[in-house]
Chains A and B, each alone.
Chain A
Amino acid sequence: MQNTNDIILKAINKSYQKGDNTVVVHDDFNLTIKSGEFVALMGPSGLGKSTLLHLMGGLDQPTQGEVLIGGQRIDNLPQKKLTQWRAENIGFIFQSHHLLPVLTAQGNVELPLALTPLNRKQRKQHASMALQLVSMSERADHYPKELSGGQEQRVAIARAIVSDPKILLCDEPTGNLDRKTADEILALLAKLNSDSGKTIVMVTHDHKAAEYASRVINLESYILSQNNSLSKNEELLQNIEPEVDDISIGASS
């Protein structure tokens, strides 16, 4: 039986125009992520990992196919409804935190709550709680320029979780961080997954980061396993930029 927060990508085709050429990113791609999973999407650049994340978050639409989140099809939602749905259900964490420099950590975390019916006091309380969860309470009044890269990312995570979304979509969340800080951030994400039951989908090139996930999907081998014939995916694989240190981990628990 389908859980209310499962992410299902069904027969996804995604292509875009590059000059006169049509570049196919995904062709008949299928993926199901169960509610409460912490999934790491790995694979070489150009294979469409971020594209998948954008499709799950309603930031992009497939050329063909269906994106179902919690049983609701989101790829054909009108823009206004999609925006609202995103505000209620999805938290984004990007490699670049994109914090607003004119707002304090508290202000940045409160930002998504401006879209909710919460009053000022409630917004403040929620933001404080979110900052507490990422151990940034003491830096609540600091502006982004006064924070380190790791602290900025923590604030970005607090902003992503403050409206209590069921799904967190993370695009290279530790890409700009040193190992120690990256581990702290990943531990935090794992904690959010285990304690709050949030479904987390994380795109990463970092194998160590992937170790924090409950399931690792190497997109290259996943696509190949989906299709018996290599020729069908020849075009897709042509887009791949090979990475020297890429090691196929495959699905693991």
Chain B
Amino acid sequence: MNLWLLVWRNSFRKKTRFGLTCLSVMVAFFLFTTLAGVNHALTASVSSINQYRMITSHKISITRSLPINYQQKIAALADIEQVSYASWFGGFFQNERNQIAVMAVEHNSYFELFDEYQIPKPQLTQWKKTRTGIIVGQALAKQYGWQVGDKVPLSSSIWMNRSGSFSWEFVVSGIYQSSKQAGDNKKIFFQHAYFDKGRAYARNSISWLSTKIVPQANVEQVISAIDNLFAHSNSPTRTTTEQVFVKERAQQFVDMAMVINIVVIAVFFTLLLIVCNTMIQTIRERLNESAMMKALGFSSASLISAIYLESLLLLSLGAALGTLLATVLLGFVKQAFGDFLPGIYISPEHYFTVFALVNIAAAFCSFFPAFTIKGIVISETLGGNS
């Protein structure tokens, strides 16, 4: 017999209560881990962005276009390394349910600026020579079985071509793969020159510009210089770093990180109350036993340690099961939907956080029972009626 055995046996003494409390811990850590994985997927694309790239769009809205000659004007500013541009095509394949992120990009500069899109050199060269050529993400090519040389008709929900149709003809020139863990492999890029000549209206306009600055440049100064340049034009601009740009687009829907944090805090607060209440109830039920152990010579510290270990065992078991379940589930989700949420990932730091939280929660849950144990007056608790 040792204290560990006693802790172990006491833990499973009220099996239903232990099971239910363990289940609540499991659910809390399942949520925590799942949300952490999803949060990583949503924020990974932002955190992995090149910090020297900036986006310039119309000051009022990104849906408003900018003149194409802004490229030369920005390129002439100090500390600018490269400028490219793009327009949103708003495409789909075959029917509107098959929406695809299709962008017309300046073919000479775009993939030099966005070097995370890895394209075999011969394919990139071929694409630059092919007016109707498209570069397709690997996941998308796999999804539709497209190969280099295939003709692919894509429709736009925005842009009519000069023949009065919304259907545009393309040929697959290359297939890219993103070098980033959370990279998107489901986009299509085609030449802006083809787009500009082919569309029925709004020629010589673009949706946004992408600018790469030299590493030693002062970002704020460059941003001011670009926006000041067009401040009094018909198309004033708003320039941000690419990170801010992507984050703002994501936050148009919901600030996921904030929602996750609120949910996690609420879940943990509830969890602490549940486990704490369980431990308080447990120690009250065992008051006589604790008093007897004190009478036998066990110190308050050793009894408090036992309660801490009991809390730790309960929380560890629940947390391990919850985290394991979430890890397995996220593994399946990543396999099934990895193309849509490529950044699903549980970092080693998360497991460390779980470990730390379990220990902190165990200490917190032993806090109130510790006072009860410390306050036991053996003679009063074990009584004696004479």
Residues of A in contact with B (beta carbons under 8 Å apart): 43-51, 53-54, 57, 59-60, 80, 83-84, 86-88, 92, 94-96, 98, 100-103, 106-107, 110-115, 120, 123, 127, 159, 171-172, 203, 205
Q: What residues on B are CB-neighbors of A53 within 8 Å?
A: 384
- Give the most central of A45, A102, A159: most B CB within 10 Å: A102
Kindly identify which residue among B6, B292, B299 contacts A102, using a CB–CB cutoff of 8 Å.
Answer: B6
Binds A, one of B26-34, B365-373, B375-383: B375-383
- Pair A94/B382 contact, Cβ less than 8 Å: yes
Are A54 and B297 in contact (CB-based, < 8 A)? no
- Inter-chain contacts of B378 with A (CB < 8 A): 54, 59-60
Q: Can you give 26 contacting A-B residue pairs, CB < 8 Å?
A: A48-B386, A50-B385, A53-B384, A54-B379, A57-B295, A60-B377, A60-B378, A80-B299, A83-B297, A92-B292, A92-B295, A94-B382, A96-B288, A100-B289, A100-B292, A103-B6, A106-B1, A107-B1, A111-B1, A111-B6, A111-B296, A115-B297, A115-B298, A123-B1, A171-B384, A203-B386
The answer to whether residues A84 and B297 also contact, given A102-B13, A103-B6 and a CB cut-off of 8 A, is yes
Q: Which residues of B contact A86 (CB under 8 A)?
A: 295-297
- For window 273-321 of B, CB contacts with A under 8 Å fall at 288-289, 291-299
In the bound complex, residues from chain B placing their C-beta under 8 Å from that of A127 are 1
- Give the residues in chain B near A48, CB-CB below 8 Å: 386
Chain B positions within 8 Å of A100 at CB level: 6, 289, 292
Is B60 close to A, CB under 8 A?
A: no
Contact B385 A59 (CB under 8 A): no
Contact A112 B13 (CB under 8 A): no
A92 and B296 form a contact (CB under 8 A): yes
Query: Which residues of B does A touch, CB under 8 Å?
Result: 1-3, 5-6, 9-10, 13, 288-289, 291-299, 377-379, 382-386
User: When the two chains form their complex, are residues B6 and A87 in contact, meaning their CB atoms are under 8 A apart?
Assistant: no
Complex: A3 Cα to B95 Cα, angstroms: 104
Neighbour of A111 across the interface among B291, B293, B383, CB < 8 A: B293
Q: How far is the CB of B286 from chain A (nearest CB, A)?
A: 9
Interfacial chain A residues near B297, Cβ < 8 Å: 83-84, 86-88, 112, 115
Chain B nearest CB: distance from A194 CB in Å?
Answer: 25
Known A44-B386, A53-B384, A103-B6; further 8 A-B contacts with Cβ < 8 A: A86-B297, A96-B288, A98-B289, A100-B289, A103-B5, A115-B296, A172-B385, A205-B386
> In the complex the two chains form, what is the Cα distance from A115 to B295 in whole Å?
12
Residue numbers in B under 8 Å from A115 (CB-CB): 296-298
The 4 closest A-B pairs by CB, nearest first: A87-B297, A50-B384, A102-B9, A110-B1
A57: chain B residues within 8 A (beta carbon): 295
Q: What distance in Å separates the Cβ of A39 from its nearest Cβ neighbour in chain B?
A: 15
Give B274 Cβ to nearest chain A Cβ, in Å. Answer: 23
Which residues of chain B have C-beta atoms less than 8 A from A103's C-beta? 1, 5-6, 9
Most interface-central of B2, B3, B297 (chain A CB within 10 A): B297
B385 to chain A, nearest CB (A): 6
Give bound CA distance, A120 to B2, whole Å. Answer: 9
Task: Give Cα distance in the complex from A205 to B293, angstroms.
Answer: 26
Contacts of B289 in A (CB 8 A): 98, 100
Q: Could you tell me the distance between the alpha carbons of A86 and B2 in the complex, rounded to whole angstroms?
A: 19
A116 closest partner in B (C-beta): B297
Query: Given A100-B289, A102-B13, A50–B296 Cβ distance below 8 Å?
Result: no
How far does the Cβ of B299 sit from chain A's closest Cβ, in whole Å? 5
Q: Give A43's nearest chain B residue, CB to CB.
A: B386
* A residues less than 8 Å from B9 (CB atoms): 102-103
Whole-angstrom CA separation of A84 from B302 in the bound complex: 12
A114/B3 in contact, CB under 8 A: yes
The docked-state distance in angstroms from the alpha carbon of A23 to that of B2 is: 42
Q: Give chain A nearest CB distance to B330 CB in angstroms.
A: 38
Contact A50 B386 (CB under 8 A): yes
With a cutoff of 8 Å between Cβ atoms, the chain B residues found around residue A50 in the complex are 379, 383-386
CA distance A98 to B295 in the complex (A): 11
Contacts of B2 in A (CB 8 A): 114, 120
A21 to B262, CA, bound (A): 53
Q: Is the CB of B296 within 8 A of A87?
A: yes
Cα(A113)–Cα(B1), bound, Å: 9
Which single residue of chain A is at the shortest CB-CB distance from B292?
A98
A100 to B293, CA, bound (A): 9
Whether A107 lies near B295 (C-beta < 8 A) is: no
- Complex CA–CA separation, A48 to B386 (angstroms): 6
Cβ contact within 8 Å between A60 and B296: no
Q: Complex formed: what's the CA distance from A172 to B384 in Å? A: 8
Q: Are A60 and B379 in contact (CB under 8 A)?
A: yes
B382 to chain A, nearest CB (A): 6
Interchain CA distance A57-B382 in the complex, whole Å:
13
Q: How far is the CA of A95 from the CA of B385 in the complex (A)?
A: 10
Closest A residue to B13 by CB, please name it.
Answer: A102
Please, which residue of chain B has its CB at the minimum distance from the CB of A160?
B296
**Residues in chain A near residue B292, CB distance under 8 A:** 92, 94, 98, 100
